Amino acid sequence: MIKVGVLELQGNFSMHHKILQNIGIKSVAVKKSSQLIGIDGLVIPGGESTTMSLLIQTFNMYESLVDFGQSHPVLGTCAGLILMSKTTDDKRIKPLGLVDIHIQRNAYGRQIESRTEKIKFNFSNQYQLVLPATIIRAPIIKEMNRNLKVIGIYDNRPVAILSGHHLCLSFHPELNGINIFHRVLFDKECKVYYKNINEHYVA
């Protein structure tokens, strides 16, 4: 059975556990580097990215997370996307540099301006879905490597991108019970197939 960790330093991690368990994937808490051993992938949830970055450094997890991400799939939502980026506009954050993107934090407005939008996602030429996407103080992808695959666009900006075995989302699929993004990255039975994701995870 595939086993996926959920980073539990801060943020909305409990609903990611629920999503993973609902699709038959064993999920475990990751609060220290040793808990990365033996898992097949990782979710970095939404939350407060500055706090999460500080805690990653405080608990000496930075290098372990970078090393893990070199060879394992990582899904980042909202703050998780910020942490996975190469650079951000906030010097308090030390990003992991897993994905070649530049991020602007809180670019979609304050908490009171949170909203849910219907967005079309192009998983492949044969598989497209319109899904609700909940945007809460979401980051904007200001710049990105042209070789990355854009899966979803909102307000003329990418909000879902695939980079090798990493998937980054500006929004919170777990709040709407959306599991396709977790399945695409972690469920080997999922029929949505990306050529640049290891077939162990998507078939």
How would residue 103 be classed by pLDDT, with cut points 50, 70 and 90?
very high
Residue 187, pLDDT score: 83
Please identify which of the residues 78, 168, 182, 190 carries the catalytic annotation: 78
174 included as an active-site residue:
yes
Q: Reply yes or no on whether the pLDDT at 197 is more than 80.
A: no
Per the annotation, the verdict on 48 as an active-site residue is no
Extended beta strands in the chain, E state: 3-7, 26-30, 41-44, 74-77, 85-88, 99-104, 115-122, 128-135, 140-144, 149-154, 157-163, 166-169
Task: Confirm if 15 and 174 have CB atoms less than 8 A apart.
Answer: yes
Other CB atoms within a 10 A radius of the CB of residue 153 amount to 14
Domain ranges across the chain: 3-186
Q: Which is the catalytic residue, given 8, 16, 165, 174?
A: 174
User: pLDDT: is 199 or 13 the higher one?
Assistant: 13
* Range with the poorest average pLDDT among 31-45, 105-119, 159-173: 105-119
- Give the model confidence (pLDDT) of 28-69 as tens digits: 999 999 999 999 999 999 989 999 999 999 999 999 999 999
pLDDT digits (tens, 9 = 90+) for 129-154: 899 998 877 788 989 988 899 999 99
Q: Which amino acid is at 84?
A: M
User: In terms of pLDDT, which residue wins out, 199 or 171?
Assistant: 171
Selected catalytic residue, list 16, 72, 172, 182: 172
Q: Closest Cα to residue 175, out of 29, 13, 37, 8?
A: 13
What's the pLDDT band for 107 if we cut at 50, 70, 90?
low
17 is catalytic: no
CATH superfamily of 3-186: Class I glutamine amidotransferase (GATase) domain (3.40.50.880)
